[in-house]
A = this chain, B = another copy of it.
Amino acid sequence: MNIIKGCRITGTGKYLPSQVVTSVELEKELDLPAGWIEKFSGVKERRYAAGETNADMAVHALKQALENADISMEKIDLLISSSVTFDYILPYQAALILKGLSNGRKLNTPSLDINSSCLSFVTAFDVAAGLLDGKKFKNIAIVSSELASTGSDPGDKETCSLFGDGAAAAILTWDNEHQSGLVKSMMKTYPEGFYYSIIRGGGNVYHIKYNPYDPALHSFKMDGKKLLRLAIATVPTYFDEFFNGTDVNIEDIDVIITHQASKAGLGLFKNLYPGLKGVLYRNLETHGNCIAASIPMCLHDTIEKGILKRGQSCLLTGTAAGFAIGSVLIKY
């Protein structure tokens, strides 16, 4: 594999709130037949924040990533928060995370938020790899922290049992020797699918001033059928284009981490690529869909468990509300 940008994941971190919510409990609460949730969403249990904010969880994950990378925050040249959910509309989330990390220290780290729905971490990774130059940018920290449980709609059985809370982070470090790095990245937007998965309320179109809280308006809604149809129409062509011109096939990748969108989404990928020789890692069963944090959580776990080893190929990929498909192929 030809590395186009030398960069190394020098550390990752993950934070899960301690509150475990099982699908059995949720079924009782939502008055659903036993086994219904696992059957439809694929999720056995997920974590719900018990007082932690988005920033709290991000700080926990980031501290672990810094520790694993054996680097102090003072050496980080850019902090990127790559999440969908947030603590405040203004200021941006990365500044609050930096505040949480500061703890009396003077940290003036440049910081910004990147958002491309569930692909935010992948996009941030791609941008970070692009910026790393060994001069201005030697180390970049990326953190995705998602708190989805706050505003779920109990009237929407499938989506309200799909999501989980948590955070994950990664430190990306310039690698002058090209031992690790980015092999290829590509993102495509398919805006015809914009309204297929959406939170309608909370922005300017359905402003809170004129639209009081209504779970149907202020929770995640998805037209699963249209979304799946669009995914079927776009994903295979996307991957044909992605692997065109690379010296590797999707079947040969050592570790594939896809966004943990849904049972149907994961099933589609498995059906499209039945001949995968490597590991197709998943945590949907135990974590739920953690929005943009799902991919870095899986990345952390595959590294911690020794599934992803130095020198191996790893594909981070997924679909996102927008609609969008994005991937980074790396040599770890």
Q: Beta-carbon contacts of A293-323 to B below 8 Å, as 1s and 0s?
A: 0000000000000000000000000001111
- The number of chain A residues touching the other chain, given as a range, is 35 or more
CA distance in complex: A189, B204 (Å): 27
- Is A64 interfacial (CB 8 A cutoff)? no
- Are A89 and B84 within 8 A (Cβ)? yes
Closest chain-B Cβ to A193's Cβ sits at a distance in Å of 9
Q: Nearest-CB distance from A189 to chain B (Å)?
A: 5
Is A109 among interface residues, defined by CB-CB distance under 8 A?
yes
B322 touches A87 (CB 8 A): no
Q: Quick one: which of B92, B94, B108, B117 contacts A91, CB cutoff 8 A?
A: B117
A109: chain B residues within 8 A (beta carbon): 188-189
Q: Is A36 an interface residue (CB 8 A)?
A: no
The answer, yes or no, to whether A212 is at the interface (CB within 8 Å) is yes
CB–CB A189/B115 < 8 A: no
Q: Is A172 an interface residue (CB 8 A)?
A: no
Stretch binding the partner chain, chosen from A123-131, A173-181, A257-265: A123-131
28 A-B pairs with CB atoms under 8 Å apart are: A54-B203, A84-B89, A85-B204, A88-B199, A88-B200, A89-B201, A90-B321, A91-B194, A91-B324, A94-B189, A98-B189, A98-B191, A99-B191, A102-B192, A108-B189, A111-B187, A111-B322, A112-B114, A112-B116, A113-B114, A114-B115, A115-B115, A127-B131, A130-B131, A151-B208, A208-B208, A209-B218, A212-B213
